[in-house]
Copies of this chain bind each other. A is one copy, B any other.
Amino acid sequence: MTPTDLILSGNRLALSRLLTQVENDTPEGRAALMELFPHTGQAHLIGVTGAPGTGKSSLVNQIALHYRKQGQRVAIVAVDPSSPFTGGAVLGDRVRMRDLAGDPGVFIRSMASRGSLGGLAQTTASVVQVFDAAGFEVILIETVGAGQAEVDIARMAHTTLVVEAPGLGDDVQAIKAGILEIADILVVNKADRPGVENTERALRGMLELAHPVKRVFMHHGQRMEVPGRQADSQTPMWIAPIQRTVATEGTGIPELVEAIARHAAHLRATGDWQARERARIESELEIHIRETLMSRFREDVPDERYQAVLSRLIERQISPWEAVSALLNGRSK
């Protein structure tokens, strides 16, 4: 069997090897991605994001366990863009391993940024494709933090969970302004803690204040909205529900997984599933184009030339824009 056949047949060792190749962006990895791509498009991609301290890893764990009980194969992609230098994502793994280790229906992959944010999003997209082609029905994409990186990675999902917890500081509202707009489901985890009513009330207030939720994405460099979610459309609108959970005890997990299923059904009924697929694939294409343009630039411009221009820039003999012109306009190809 070819490596691709092995993966399509569910071989874990072949899968693990391919993921490493994809992460290192090897020619073999790219070739396999091309072969596997026609087999993608079957999985439900679920993004889970939220500030540190909300207990995301435990929650993802519990969601995975619940899907396992339903007999579905689950992949977890844990992305940690806040850790550019060290393998911070490994921390959460130990918790995960305890509950999920040894289950052949679960595959976990942790990814830390290696200097380039674009590179991380690109690799995450490819890793998700591999899991999708390998037949995992549910792919949980977990990100740490609540910055633009997380928003970009959340765009890769069909359903996005934003996790909150009581008592995480007093400007929760400020940071949630942007992140709320990507939430399909709001989860108040650690709901056994004091302050849960306040957190839920604050979120509800913000949801009510918010405009009719539209799905915004980038389309060939332009901001676009996914049709079918506007207030004036004929299709019913999805109002993000607030689900309480205590992940460490498994409380609220069945209800949360039920809400995720309702969201998927809503997307399919309204045609938003296709719209999101389109937005998702276009975002991924743009990331690939950016990274490819940059690698070509690095191959095309000799290092001596780059260093000479950089030195003139540092000595302020030329401005950044002049440096860019000097490097890009004299290219060999």
Chain A residues within 8 Å of B, Cβ to Cβ: 30, 33-34, 37-38, 40-41, 51-54, 80-86, 88, 91-92, 112-113, 115-118, 120, 125, 129, 144-152, 165, 167-172, 174-175, 177-179, 181, 216, 218, 220-221, 223, 277-278, 281-282, 284-285, 288-290, 292-298, 303, 306-307, 310, 313-314, 316, 318-324, 327-328
User: Which residue in B80, B115, B145, B293 is a CB contact (below 8 Å) of A223?
Assistant: B115
Closest approach, in angstroms, between the C-beta of A31 and any C-beta of chain B?
9
State the oligomeric state as a number of copies.
2
Question: Once the chains are docked, how many angstroms separate the CA of A288 from the CA of B172?
Answer: 33
| Sample of 20 A–B contacts (CB below 8 Å) | A37-B318, A82-B178, A83-B177, A84-B216, A86-B177, A86-B181, A88-B175, A92-B174, A117-B149, A118-B118, A147-B150, A149-B149, A167-B167, A221-B294, A277-B314, A281-B313, A284-B320, A285-B310, A292-B324, A293-B293
Query: Which B residue sits closest to A143, measured CB to CB?
Result: B147
Verify B51–A178 contact, CB threshold 8 A: no
Are A117 and B117 also in contact (CB < 8 A) when A147-B149, A165-B169, A320-B33 are?
yes
Docked CA distance A310–B298 (Å): 26
How many angstroms between the C-alpha atoms of A67 and B53 in the bound complex? Answer: 34
CB distance from A21 to the nearest CB of B (A): 14
**Closest partner residue, chain B, to A116 (CB atom):** B218
Q: Which residues of B contact A277 (CB under 8 A)?
A: 314
Q: Please give me the residue from chain B that is nearest to A284 by CB atom.
A: B320
State in angstroms the CA–CA spacing of A216 and B86 once bound together: 12
Check B314 against A53 for contact (C-beta < 8 Å).
no
A273 to chain B, nearest CB (A): 12
Q: From B81, B314, B318, give the contact of A147 (CB < 8 A).
A: B81
Contact A34 B115 (CB under 8 A): no
The chain B residue with its CB closest to the CB of A179 is B82
Q: A84-B151, A223-B115 are in contact. Are A321 and B177 (CB under 8 A)?
A: no
Contact A328 B289 (CB under 8 A): yes
The residue in A82, A129, A295 that gathers the most chain B C-beta atoms within 10 A of its C-beta is A82
